[in-house]
Structure 1
Amino acid sequence: MMNAPTRYREPSDRITALLEQHAPRAIPIRTIARELGIDRKTVAKYLELLAASGDVSLERFGQKKLYRRAHRLPLPEVLHRLPNALVILDGDLQVSMVNASFVATLGIHPPRNLVGARLLDLDLPVFSEPAVRRNIERIHGAETYLDEMQLIDDGTDRVYLLEFAPIVTPPARPGVMVSLRDITATRKAEAALKNAEQKMATLFETAPCGIVIFTASGTVLNANPTALRALGLRTFEQLRPASIFALVGPPETLEELIAKGRAAEIELAIDFYCMRREQVPCAKPGGASFDAVFTPIRRDGGGGPGEFAILFRDITEDRYTRRDLASQEIRS
């Protein structure tokens, strides 16, 4: 006489085998009952059990219920496919599981069977660090702990991001899951970007030419010290209320360049009286002429430029000098 588990497995195995035969197509209860020679109520009961266990998936099509074989990926295989290194400890801080990335990230060669060993007794990179060990012990003791930390491995100069989480399985003591990710490349990229930004900021502040950055609508976003001196201003706040179109002329030239979105060499004129009418407290009289380079500032993601810059040099004195020389030559 078959016991209960055997009675359950025999029909359920036949049902799952039939669903495999029909895969990937989902089929209704009546098809299963007809092909297996089992009444529909019995099939429905077993399908309900198989769906609850995750072996069968149910799909609804109007009033119909259609079933297909569910292919579940075993949890250990899922964990082995994760890019992050992962170690799971039981309530005694013994290793229950490590994934393939854990072995590769920590450079464990040849691969050792760590399962069953107490993690804190193993001389593993990163996990031998006192801060990491203390945090694991805090979780084990149900104390306040850090859910993540960054660590630089002195031996390799690698930078790691560690994430910690308790695994509660009453009535046992809490286990611990630690995720480990090598973020060295990310940190180096961030450092390189910060260094580049600092260099650009230094260049902007110390450039011998004036630099003004603005939007297509004319809003002035920034100006370097050389530009402020050329405009007779002390601080950028004095320039902020003005539109770039009110500062430089002819404005039509600037509007055309913005529309084209291409770099160009141009000559600009600035009327300091006009600046004062625009509530810009310019300390210079008259006006000035400038040789300038107009350039769009491209976005990282592509598309049209959102900002523009003018790099300029005051040529007013050169203009006066040339005019005086020309006058002298005419008189002579």
Structure 2
Amino acid sequence: MEEYQEKLIAVREFLREKSPQQMSISAISRSMGMNRGTVSKYLEILRINGQVTMVYYGKSKLYTVSDRIPAVSLFDYTTDIIIIMDANARIMTANKSFFSKYNRLNERTLVGSNIFHLGIPIFSESSVHKNINRMIRGDKFLHEMQYIDERNNQIYSIKFIPTVSLDGNKNCMIALRDITDQIHTEEALSISDEKLRTIFKKVPSGILFFNESGNIINANSASLRMLGVDNYQDLMKTNLFDLFCRKEKIINALFDGDIGKIEFICDFERLKREQIMPTSRSGIAYFEASFTHISSETGFREYATIIMDVTAERMAKKELKFNESRYHSFFNYTCTGVLIYQPVDGGNDFMIKDVNQALEIILQVKKEEIIGKKLFVAFPDLPISSVRLALNRVNSTEIPEVVPPLQYIKNETSPWLTHFIFKLPTGEIASFMMDIAKDLREEVTYRKTLCTEND
């Protein structure tokens, strides 16, 4: 055995002297005066132990001393628990992680002990025990297993690795790794992934993933519904930038880093006409989108966008704006005076909210002088009791009323005004007023004429 060990070391030192030269088995055999087969066996043992390296040159094998640190010297720097044993299941060595885990053992009592006699549950477990014996015998065995320690619910990965010692004997290495946290993390990630998939499928907003070229790489079902597309393939063939009008607005926002909320328009008739994408929708649609950059392993910058169809909202606002414009045109330019007020002080008075131009002319007042004032404070000459009663009736019953003619200011030039009062949906009260002074004069003139003719 000593002679064997000496020759093994001699081969290694010979290669060290020749380093960095690479030498074939035949060249080493001739130079050292040894049998070629013996040299080949020694070189294979040294290679398995990481002390020499081998490369192919055609069909020849070239060897040189290894620059790597021997694996055994690295064992103490790994958190894995490592044990090396011989063919009789006797411990040859173990690393620091082993002694740290099983602190009741020490190297003096450990070396030479049978691995199955250590009293460590993981090695006494039936399936582990059988697998170690199969590896020792050279039978088929599992290279990796998982083991759950029932005492503390710790989960271990066990690797079984056949090795060869420097003297050529077959050894076995067992590496244990505590993977409890890893398993728990993977389970948590799996749950998170499932939650994200559920959100992706169920959220009513459209979600699109695309790269910097605008190529759509994924989309949820809500996106398909919003865009009127039946299947994913039709959408995947479409460039996002071609879907919307003013695509440069989106491109510039992305490349300038301004990837917040953007509103854009989609003309579905254009998409059909230019055969950009088959869609069942028609007309114009308005979308509101939020963009964000996402990490990618493809080498391309990728983005995600959440889109919401705000067409109904935009059309409602457009209609409202049109109605407001129509209302203001009617309000401001009608020849009838309009006064809008709201009950205050429990119906004892009414705050003036708005008046139109016709009323300013009829009453000879300026809008800014009376808006925000109380009706009976701004016009104390009104018949307060009767006006208050009429306004409160309309406010409570919401039934319009016509008020007999009255004057806002009691003098000879102040007009007599009749009122049509009604309640607005806003809770305010509106009063249309008409100057009947001309009608009264014509009535008086008519009656005087009638009397003269009778005389």
Taking structure 1 as the reference length, the TM-score comes to 0.71
Q: Which residue of 1 aligns with 2:407?
A: none
Q: Which protein shows a greater Rg?
A: 2
Total equivalences in the alignment: 273
- Matched letter for residue 280 of structure 1: M
Shift of 1:74: 8.9
Q: Displacement of 1:192 after TM fit?
A: 2.9
C-alpha distance after superposition, 1:112-149 (max 9, x if no partner): 42222221233214222222111101112221011122
Cross-structure match for 2:201 = 205
Whether 1:52 aligns to 2:13 is yes
Query: Which one-letter code corresponds to 1:221 in the other structure?
Result: I
Distance 2:323 2:166 in 1: 101
Residue 237 of structure 1 pairs with residue 198 of structure 2: no
**SS state of the match for residue 127, structure 1?**
helix
Following the alignment from structure 1 to structure 2, what is the Cα–Cα distance between the partners of residues 81 and 198? 37
Q: Match of 2:148?
A: 152
8 A Cα contact 2:211 2:300, kept in partner: no
Q: Is the 8 A contact 1:246 1:278 kept in 2?
A: no
Sort the Cα spacing of 1:121 and 1:322 in 2 relative to 1 into closer, same or farther, 3 A. same
Higher RCO (C-alpha under 8 Å, 6+ residues apart): 1
Residue 127 of structure 1 pairs with residue 123 of structure 2:
yes
- CA distance in structure 1 between the partners assigned to 2:317 and 2:70 by the alignment: 84
Question: What residue in structure 1 maps to residue 326 of structure 2?
Answer: 331
CA contact (8 A) 2:263 2:288 kept: yes
For 2:219 and 2:69, how far apart are their aligned partners in 1? Answer: 59
Where in structure 1 are there 5+ consecutive unaligned residues? 1-47, 61-71
> Which residue number in structure 2 is paired with residue 310 of structure 1?
305
What secondary structure sits across from 1:278 in the alignment? Answer: coil
Over 3 Å counting, the alpha-carbon distance change for 1:138 and 1:167 in structure 2 is: same
1:57 positional shift? 6.4
TM-superposed CA distance for 1:76, in Å, is: 6.1
Kindly tell me: are residues 140 and 59 of structure 1, through their superposed partners in 2, closer, same or farther at Cα, counting changes over 3 Å? closer
Shift of 1:197: 2.2
Amino acid at match of 2:188: A
* Aligned counterparts of 1:75 and 1:160: Cα–Cα separation in 2: 22
Query: What amino acid is aligned across from residue 85 of structure 2 in structure 1?
Result: L
The 1:50–1:115 alpha-carbon spacing in structure 2 relative to 1, beyond 3 Å, is: closer
Q: Counterpart of 1:249 in 2: which secondary structure?
A: coil
1:49 deviates by: 6.8
Equivalent runs, 1:85-124 vs 2, <5 Å: 85-104=81-100, 107-112=101-106, 113-124=109-120
- Which stretches in structure 2 are left out of the alignment for 5+ residues? 1-8, 21-67, 328-455
Aligned equivalent of 1:291: 288
- Checking the alignment, whether the CA contact within 8 Å between 1:298 and 1:307 is kept in structure 2 is yes
Aligned to 1:8: none
Equivalences for 1:1-332 in 2 at 5 Å? 52=13, 78-104=74-100, 107-112=101-106, 113-168=109-164, 174-276=170-272, 277-299=274-296, 306-332=301-327
Supply the distance in 1 between the matched residues of 2:18 and 2:155 (Cα, whole angstroms): 46
Q: Distance in 1 between matches of 2:326 and 2:72?
A: 97
Q: 1:100 Cα shift?
A: 1.3
Q: What is the alpha-carbon root mean square deviation over aligned residues?
A: 3.5
Structure 2 vs 1, CA of residues 136 and 213 (structure 1 numbering), >3 Å: closer, same or farther?
Answer: same
Q: Displacement, 1:243?
A: 0.4
Contact 1:139-1:174 within 8 A present in 2 as well: no
Which amino acid in structure 2 is aligned with residue 121 of structure 1?
Answer: H
